[in-house]
């Protein structure tokens, strides 16, 4: 795979559609899970021009910061706390148009305005990680992001479950 992403299209769907095959190619790298996940986070952040993209891994009763691209982040999030903990607890995608209006939001960065979090499952259908994507603009994420980032989660699940 080339070191440079080539993202084409003007709509969100077109941009995701051009990014997805490149993510699949990055996931085939045999450099190890951390390297692969790090490159996936970078490709998503820069390919879609998001503010922050990262994974939190479930370790006992906490989400612990894993690979990410963006500003300094919270390192631990308790079960059920914040948007990430809520997505983990409920095993479902959460889209927040204005993080200031989400009860219990954890402000890791004051620049983050909207957020989408998707659970990543292991082979036993338990949440192993969450994919957290932040924007520095309000109401960035919608069902289109949920659908396409759901496909990205499928790629991540293949990486962590092999």
CATH number where 143 lies: 3.30.450.40
Condensed to tens digits (0 to 9), the pLDDT of residues 13-58 reads 999 999 999 999 999 999 999 999 999 999 999 999 999 999 999 9
Q: Count, in order, helices (H) and strands (E) of the chain.
A: 4, 6
Range of the domain at 44: 12-160
Residue 77 lies in a domain: yes
**If 0-12 CB within 10 Å is exposed, 13-18 middle and 19+ buried, where does residue 99 land?**
buried
Q: Is 2 among the domain residues? A: no
Structural domain contains residue 29: yes
Helix or strand holding residue 112 (H, E)? none
Q: Is 3 inside a domain boundary?
A: no
d(CA 154, CA 162): 12
Could you tell me which residue, 103 or 144, shows the higher pLDDT? 144
The closest alpha carbon to 161, from 129, 131, 123, belongs to 123
Stated pTM of the model: 0.96
Domain count, the chain: 1
DSSP lists the bridge partners of residue 130 as 56, 119
Question: At 107, is the pLDDT very low, low, confident or very high (cuts 50, 70, 90)?
Answer: confident
Answer whether residue 7 shows pLDDT above 60.
yes
Per the domain annotation, does 4 fall within a domain?
A: no
Asked whether residue 85 is assigned to any structural domain, the reply reads: yes
């Amino acid at each position: 795979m080339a070191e440079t992403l080539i993202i084409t299209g003007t709509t969100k769907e077109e941009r995701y559609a051009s990014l997805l095959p490149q993510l699949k190619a990055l996931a085939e790298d045999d450099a190890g899970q951390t390297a692969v996940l790090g490159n996936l986070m970078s490709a998503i952040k820069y390919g879609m021009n998001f503010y922050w993209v990262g994974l939190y891994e479930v370790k006992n009763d906490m989400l612990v910061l894993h690979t990410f691209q963006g500003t300094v982040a919270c390192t631990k999030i308790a079960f059920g706390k914040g948007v990430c903990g809520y997505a983990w607890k409920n095993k479902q995608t959460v889209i927040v148009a204005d993080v200031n209006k989400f009860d219990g939001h954890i402000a890791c960065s004051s620049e983050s305005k909207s957020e989408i979090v998707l659970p990543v499952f292991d082979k036993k259908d338990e949440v192993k990680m969450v994919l957290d994507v932040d924007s520095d603009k309000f109401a960035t994420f919608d069902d289109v992001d949920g659908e396409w980032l759901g496909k990205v989660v499928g790629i991540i699940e293949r990486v962590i479950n092999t």
